[in-house]
């Protein structure tokens, strides 16, 4: 992750040029659409798990309840 922070403008130009050569101009919108939907699904799943954990922490367990005798 730190490697991306140290990249200059010329490195980005080379990477974008390589992507254009590999996939062509017509495939890039399809790739970005797929990448966007994948990121959206990942974030939705992450949020669902986070919500379930929060709800699970709110619910008192049976051992926390006092015995009713």
- Domain range annotation of the chain: 26-53
Both tokens assigned to 42 = 């990942």
Q: How far is CA 33 from CA 29, 36, 39, in A?
A: 6, 5, 10
pTM for the structure as a whole: 0.54
Has residue 35 got a pLDDT over 70?
A: yes
pLDDT band (50, 70, 90) for residue 65: low
The CA distance from 27 to 17, in Å, is 14
């Amino acid at each position: 992750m730190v490697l991306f922070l140290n990249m200059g403008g010329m490195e980005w130009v080379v990477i974008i040029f390589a992507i254009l050569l590999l996939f062509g101009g017509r495939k890039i919108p399809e790739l970005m659409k797929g990448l966007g939907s994948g990121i959206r699904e990942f974030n939705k799943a992450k949020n669902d798990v986070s919500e379930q954990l929060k709800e699970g922490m709110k619910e008192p367990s049976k051992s926390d309840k006092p015995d009713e005798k």
